[in-house]
Amino acid sequence: LFLLEADRVTVVDAGSSYGTRVGQVWLRPRTQRLALDGGEPLLIGGVQATFHTPASLHAALRACARRDL
């Protein structure tokens, strides 16, 4: 579950069967919130994703473009 709080996005595991991980941190279901800055790898159930802010997405795309040159 992603929450927008003031100007921050936080993630909390809503009690899923397979858990939620941010980086190497497994969240305690329903009790632990973790603020996301951008660029963090997520594992939600069996789905891998990366959380991005506009700034972290821009940096990631620029890094990809430099590797392709």
Residue-wise pLDDT tens for the chain (69 aa)? Answer: 999 988 899 999 999 999 999 999 999 999 999 999 999 999 998 999 999 999 999 999 999 988 865
This prediction has a pTM of: 0.81
Mean pLDDT, the chain, rounded, equals 92
pLDDT computed for residue 69 by the predictor: 58
9's CB contacts (< 8 A; 6+ apart) are 2, 3, 35, 36, 51, 53
DSSP 13-38: --S-SS-EEETTEEPPTTT-EEEE-S
Phi, psi of 32 (to 5 degrees): -110, 125
